[in-house]
Structure 1
Amino acid sequence: MDWSLFDIVGLDYYSYHANRAGHTKELAPFRRWGKPIMILEFGCCTFTGAADHLATMLDVFTAEGFLGASPYTFISPDAPHRPHDHPHDEDIAAFSLCKVIRKNSDDPASPYDWQPKESFRAVSRFCLVH
């Protein structure tokens, strides 16, 4: 493969390490082409601590000097939040920064609104500082 044809190295990065050094080590081989690196997708599903994970990842990508990073994803209309039906709350598995509240959560075609999660706020705070 002639990598000189490409301007950047684009990665989808969904790893977990207990410390930043683990991420640095895992990402190091992608520098071998001498190209700028951009994280095209990163994220995690909804869980207690997800916002901290996203903020940590943004810190790692910044420290590595990457071009940018794009959280996956803003909303997941196919995974509505069901606040009164925890066993069927599809938002728990969603990687979205915002939860989808459908007018009728049993009807995938019903109108919906979205509400920011803690993950949205963590990414927003990071962007405001950087």
Structure 2
Amino acid sequence: MVDVSDIFLCTRCGYCCRGETTVSLDGADQVRMITSLDMRERDVREQYWRISGNSVQMKIVDGYCIFYDDGCSVHNGRPWRCAQWPLHPSILDDENNFLTISESCPGIKKEIGYERFCEVLSKIMQDSVVSC
């Protein structure tokens, strides 16, 4: 049996929460976040989200996602893409993707090598599809 911890252990460094933009929130992300925050949608929109056209993203404060505070302050309600990161399917397509992501994420267990990493990630992804 494989586990995410076989290939990744989050160090809570915040690198993935840093930047000029954050991930886009789909409808399910928005509902999950509103529920987790136990706030009215209007208040969450005003306080935490940046809306541009049809795109909804979390606001950025001092170069970080508004929810980053030595870890994710909305962890249980975080967007799907945040929950998935850094175990992105693109890693399986190209070793360069693995190298790029692992250079910026100290939690990825590079020492197991690309082939083994992909074996475990594939199994994790397969299991998560089956269990949905």
Normalising TM by the smaller chain, what interval? under 0.3
Higher Rg: 1
The answer to which structure has the higher helix fraction is 2
The answer to which structure has the higher strand fraction is 1
Q: TM-score, normalised by structure 1?
A: 0.28
